[in-house]
Structure 1
Amino acid sequence: MRRRPAAMIAAAALLSTGLAGCSGGTAPAGRPAPDAPPKATTPAPRVPPGHAPKESFAVGVRQLKLNRDGDRPLPVTLWYPARGEAGGTAERSAPAAAGRFPVVLFSHGLGGRPEDYRVLLTRWAAAGFVVAAPKFPHTGAGGDGNPLDVLNQPADVSYVLTQVLALDTRAGDPLRGRLDPERVAATGHSAGGVTTIGLFTAGRDERLDAGIVFAGTSLGVGTAFAGAAAPQLFVHGEADEVVDYAAGKAVYDAVPWPKAMLSLPKGDHGRALLSDGTALRVVADTTVEFLRWTLYGDEAAKKRLPADATRGGLATLDDHL
């Protein structure tokens, strides 16, 4: 691991407390009073106006074996729109559907695996997105669980993005001509949320057009959001037992770009992402509409987003998009 400034090491050390697991932890804080959001620096989204696919796709799945710098193995699961009848389970190595699709990176939580989130991620793929989810060498299942390594993960994600986008021009690859390198988002849960925030702060990747942070905090990566405006959606349970709701809200408040925060009053640290149910459907529908707007430039999706977010009274939406 490369050397880091003492302040960053001290901040990262807190991760071992704040992200030590997906159960237990300190009691959640109540929702703080809303603050006036910073004004957006530029109009958003950056992509030209357009229309997201109206139909649902079948979903294919495949694996990539990547390794950054020879000592950071990063197996990547790819879910993508595929030919065939929509609504079934993901089919391994299914032929890709016709079209060019935006790319969405997803970073798992501490001790997690990409497949833990397959219900949500396959819904994104069925809506017309190629989802690339690496398993990180230290914070993934079977790793040593070192939370300090989260600070290396933004660079891992940028490396994965480069390798995935290269498939678009690789002769003979099943995704050749199917990826749109100008429409890219980063997303992540818990430690993966920290990773995602880092991609817009200290480790800013200018290829990213948008971000979604699930139950994330800025510990170790800060809130110095940099670069061109990239809309952000935060999703956080108010009963989160691992990352206090107030910690996520503080990062959200610091975002200087178009943003929204989906708050689940009864939501914990991850159940709405890991198991199918009404809460996951609200989260899935809200995130799909956000991605349709930010990556396809679909204004109709943006208009639908508040209704999807508040359907059934399971969540509230602070909307500054």
Structure 2
Amino acid sequence: MFRRRTPVLLTAALLATGLAGCSTQGPSPGTTTPPEPPKVATPAPRVPAGTAPAEAFAVGVRQLKLNRGGDRPLPVTLWYPARGTAGEATQRNATAATGRFPVVAFSHGLSGRPADYQALLTRWAAAGFVVAAPAFPHTGKGTDGNVLDVLNQPADVSYVLDKVLALDAKAGDPLRGRLATDRVAAAGHSAGGATTIGLFTTWRDKRLAAGVVFAGTGVGVGTAFAGAAAPQLIVHGQADKVVDYAAGKAVYDAVPWPKAMLSLPKGDHGRALLGDGAALRVVSDTTVEFLRWALYGDEAAKDRLPAEAARSGLATLDDRL
């Protein structure tokens, strides 16, 4: 049964206020009626124990042209483990490495694009993950900047996952037989963080085994986490002037499952995610170990998390995994 529309409309208005600062543009003058949420999905089983790849991979990249419903174009950038020498430049349409790799859907922030996060997402791919990053039709760079459309984005991500996971069985596709379709996570930054939270709350996608939220807020999508336990890693800068640190902490406090919060005392709204610096190394290495544990079931990676978070003294970790 659908929930009443009035609370959704109220939270949509709050979402516009809470996230408008992420964008260089304001919301468009017209408003969009947010979608009513679907029923809560049936819980999925926990990821079984395993071992993550010990070696680093070369990274390939390709593009998918998707469109949900015919009026929501969703071009997707796919970064994936590839054959070749690790550490070399990303190769377009490179041959995929041998193996079956977990999938992570990544959602960008307002006025962002997948390429903005390449430094982080290629590190995930080099560690053995396939990353699917859509460009959203109303909150991406060069769009109308309608922040209310964030409420449509959880459904966009689920649609993208439908199409990407189907490649594992698609004859002739370069990723056929390379996707671990039962080991899936969602991640996102800012408005993409809210999108990611929504995938575990109002718009729960039962396939998701874990989430990573960068500078996110529960405004508009709620913090009523639902379904099977899906570990969460919350990453937030304590000097964030766009989405206040307290908003991220409130999300973290509401997570009823195994969880950890990586806090950067001098971190802003996301500069650490966009450039290759010491903070990015801490964030990327910590998130890689979290994903190795959450998607590969690698307990040794979980044990390494505190050391990665503490490296360089740039962050602290509240570890409740």
TM-score greater than 0.5 by the shorter chain: yes
CA deviation digits over 1:291-313, x for unaligned, max 9?
00000000000000000011111
* Deviation for aligned residue 1:225: 0.5
- What's the counterpart of residue 210 of structure 2? 210
The size of the alignment, in residue pairs, is 300
- What's the counterpart of residue 55 of structure 1? 55
- What's the counterpart of residue 277 of structure 2? 277
Cα distance in 2 for partners of 1:131, 1:181 equals 13
Tell me if the contact between 2:109 and 2:190 (Cα under 8 Å) persists in the aligned partners.
yes
Runs of 4+ displaced beyond 4 Å: none
- What's the counterpart of residue 81 of structure 1? 81
Which SS does the other structure have where 1:99 is aligned? Answer: coil
Instruction: Give TM-score, length-normalised by structure 2.
Output: 0.91
Tell me if the contact between 1:75 and 1:134 (Cα under 8 Å) persists in the aligned partners.
yes
- What's the counterpart of residue 167 of structure 1? 167
Cα distance in 2 for partners of 1:115, 1:13 equals 29
- Please tell me the residue identity of whatever aligns with 2:123: R
CA 1:241 to 1:232, structure 2 compared with 1: closer, same or farther past 3 Å? same
- What's the counterpart of residue 187 of structure 1? 187
Which SS does the other structure have where 1:9 is aligned? Answer: helix
Could you list the runs of 5+ residues in structure 2 that have no partner in the other structure? 25-43
Could you list the runs of 5+ residues in structure 1 that have no partner in the other structure? 25-43
Cα distance in 2 for partners of 1:53, 1:119 equals 20
CA deviation digits over 1:22-57, x for unaligned, max 9?
479xxxxxxxxxxxxxxxxxxx99211111000000
Cα distance in 1 for partners of 2:9, 2:298 equals 41
- What's the counterpart of residue 8 of structure 2? 8
- What's the counterpart of residue 306 of structure 1? 306
* Deviation for aligned residue 1:238: 0.3
- Please tell me the residue identity of whatever aligns with 1:97: A
Tell me if the contact between 2:22 and 2:191 (Cα under 8 Å) persists in the aligned partners.
no
- What's the counterpart of residue 70 of structure 1? 70
- What's the counterpart of residue 113 of structure 2? 113
Cα distance in 2 for partners of 1:4, 1:280 equals 41
* Deviation for aligned residue 1:12: 1.6
Equivalent residues in 2 for 1:218-257, closer than 5 Å? 218-257=218-257
**What percentage of residue pairs aligned between the two structures are identical?**
80
Cα distance in 1 for partners of 2:45, 2:248 equals 23
* Deviation for aligned residue 1:5: 1.5
- What's the counterpart of residue 95 of structure 1? 95
* Deviation for aligned residue 1:17: 2.4
* Deviation for aligned residue 1:18: 1.9
* Deviation for aligned residue 1:218: 0.5
* Deviation for aligned residue 1:182: 0.5
1:141 matched to 2:159: no
CA 1:89 to 1:21, structure 2 compared with 1: closer, same or farther past 3 Å? farther
Which SS does the other structure have where 2:208 is aligned? Answer: coil
Is the deviation greater in 267-276 or in 3-12?
Answer: 3-12
- What's the counterpart of residue 33 of structure 1? none
Between the two structures, name the one with larger relative contact order (CA 8 Å, sep ≥ 6): 1
Q: RMSD across aligned C-alpha pairs, in angstroms?
A: 1.5
Cα distance in 1 for partners of 2:294, 2:253 equals 20
- Please tell me the residue identity of whatever aligns with 1:86: A
- What's the counterpart of residue 290 of structure 2? 290
Cα distance in 2 for partners of 1:236, 1:64 equals 30
Instruction: Give TM-score, length-normalised by structure 1.
Output: 0.91
CA deviation digits over 1:187-235, x for unaligned, max 9?
0000000000000000000100000000000011101100000000000
Tell me if the contact between 1:23 and 1:241 (Cα under 8 Å) persists in the aligned partners.
no
Tell me if the contact between 1:23 and 1:242 (Cα under 8 Å) persists in the aligned partners.
no
Tell me if the contact between 1:111 and 1:139 (Cα under 8 Å) persists in the aligned partners.
yes
- What's the counterpart of residue 104 of structure 1? 104
- What's the counterpart of residue 27 of structure 1? none
